[in-house]
Amino acid sequence: MKTVYVITMWSGGRPAKKWKSEILPETTQQGTGVSFISTGTKLRVTVIGNISVEEYESGKEELEMGYGSGSSAAESDSSIRPGNVERLF
């Protein structure tokens, strides 16, 4: 699993712009914003003002669907299986 950070710039109580970063954003020297490398553009971005940083774990859904209980639930549902496939056990 990989950690992903979502940086949101707020304007008037609403999210104005969002970025994703795989590296923890650093606080600016003045302490009024953060600096990070955007996942989309691979460029350094510095945001000053009303911002929030949220941390998420990427890959958890793929692990649950591929190896966890999510795949067994899908296999037991006959509406998902094509008509020419027969379950052996």
The pLDDT tens digits along the chain (89 residues) read: 789 999 999 999 999 999 999 999 999 999 999 999 999 999 999 999 999 999 998 775 555 555 544 444 444 455 555 666 666 65
Bin 70: left if φ > 0, else alpha if -120 < ψ < 50, else beta.
alpha
Handedness of CA 47, 48, 50, 52 (dihedral sign): positive
pLDDT the model gives residue 87: 63
pLDDT the model gives residue 71: 44
pLDDT the model gives residue 57: 86
